[in-house]
Amino acid sequence: MIKEKKIKDLLKENDIRPKKKLGQNFIFDENILNKIADSIGPISGLSIIEIGPGPGGLTKSLLRCNPKSITLVEKDVSFKGILLEITKNYPSVTSNLIFDDVMKINLDELEVLKKNRVKYISNLPYYISTQVLLKILPFHTNVLEATFMFQKEVAERLIANPHNKKYSKLSVIAQYCCNIKKIFNLNSNIFYPKPDVDSCLLNFKPKDTTCIDVYNELKNLTKLAFEKRRKTIKNSLSNIEGIKGLLEKLDIDDQCRAENLSVEKYTNLAKCLVDRKLV
């Protein structure tokens, strides 16, 4: 293997400066990058999709864990040279570089997802972090898990429980699809340039009970409920025909507010609405 260069030096050599509008806050500390890569468990024999590899710090730590293949999706083409240099150091790992906007790609159609077991990983660009998550939820059947870095505030919303101000539409729909575990917080000091907020690494493991029709219904339902989160659930869902009877049947107190209803109760309600459409 050719001696690897430091990511910071590669950036300097290629005269690349971080672009704020692309959410470019890089991690250079190899101990931290290795800790993130290790947190996704053994990956030999598995395929990895990394969103936003940037100058490849995390990519390098992942390659050292010897996955079967790695697919990199990066919008900023100025990293092409660096990423090619890094990946060519690991000839035993099949690498696939895609220079495109992740929001414009149909990730479920990627070749790698057809025949492989895949793990997603990303230090997400924060300006689109929730959009990226919502884009891949519910996971394709070949996705084993996803490990994503979010702004701490967004991570707190994702894992929030009922009766909490942070409990939101995002909490309900993400927790319906996945068991979500906090891995660790990361101080903003470790990023270059330093962002205004701290970060948090979360792991998402898909639940095998997820049903796409219920998921879609849940999205509509939680949009209505949380749009008017100070109203009682009876009022915020009043446009749904027969809502009073449904709430009664499911033993849901019609005076409670959006943030008081568990994921299970929202799911039961969504299931009833799906079943009703099928009749």
Residue 147 interacts with ligand SAM (CB under 6 A): yes or no: no
CA distance 62 to 38: 8
Q: Considering the complex, what minimum distance in angstroms separates the CB of residue 141 from ligand SAM?
A: 24
- CB half-sphere exposure, 251, CA atoms < 13 A: 2
Kindly indicate which of the ranges 53-61, 109-117, 154-162, 172-180 contains the residues binding ligand SAM, using the contact rule CB under 6 A: 53-61
Q: Considering the complex, what minimum distance in angstroms separates the CB of residue 129 from ligand SAM?
A: 9
Burial class (CB in 10 A: 0-12, 13-18, 19+), 177: buried
Site size for ligand SAM (CB under 6 A) = 22
**Contact string (CB under 6 A) for ligand SAM, positions 1-30, x = contact:** ---------------------xxxxxx---
Residue 217 interacts with ligand SAM (CB under 6 A): yes or no: no
CA distance 30 to 239: 53
Residue 43 interacts with ligand SAM (CB under 6 A): yes or no: no
Cα–Cα nearest to 248, from 274, 269, 227, 219: 269
CA distance 19 to 113: 30
Residue 206 interacts with ligand SAM (CB under 6 A): yes or no: no
Q: Considering the complex, what minimum distance in angstroms separates the CB of residue 43 from ligand SAM?
A: 16
Give the strand pairing for 143-151 and 94-99.
unpaired
As beta bridge partners, residue 257 has: 232
Q: Does 18 sit behind a cis peptide bond, omega within 30 degrees of 0 on the bond before it? A: no
Q: Considering the complex, what minimum distance in angstroms separates the CB of residue 54 from ligand SAM?
A: 3
Kindly indicate which of the ranges 49-57, 82-90, 113-121, 181-189 contains the residues binding ligand SAM, using the contact rule CB under 6 A: 49-57
Kindly indicate which of the ranges 51-59, 163-171, 213-221, 258-266 contains the residues binding ligand SAM, using the contact rule CB under 6 A: 51-59
CA distance 190 to 97: 26
As beta bridge partners, residue 26 has: 192
Q: Please provide residue 198's backbone torsions phi and psi, each rounded to the nearest 5 degrees.
A: -80, 170
Q: Considering the complex, what minimum distance in angstroms separates the CB of residue 274 from ligand SAM?
A: 32
Residue 162 interacts with ligand SAM (CB under 6 A): yes or no: no
Residue 174 interacts with ligand SAM (CB under 6 A): yes or no: no
As beta bridge partners, residue 62 has: none
Q: Considering the complex, what minimum distance in angstroms separates the CB of residue 267 from ligand SAM?
A: 31
**Contact string (CB under 6 A) for ligand SAM, positions 68-107, x = contact:** -----xxxx------------------------xxx----
CA distance 27 to 131: 22
Q: Which parts of this chain interact with ligand SAM (CB under 6 A)?
A: 22-27, 51-54, 57-58, 73-76, 101-103, 123, 125, 128
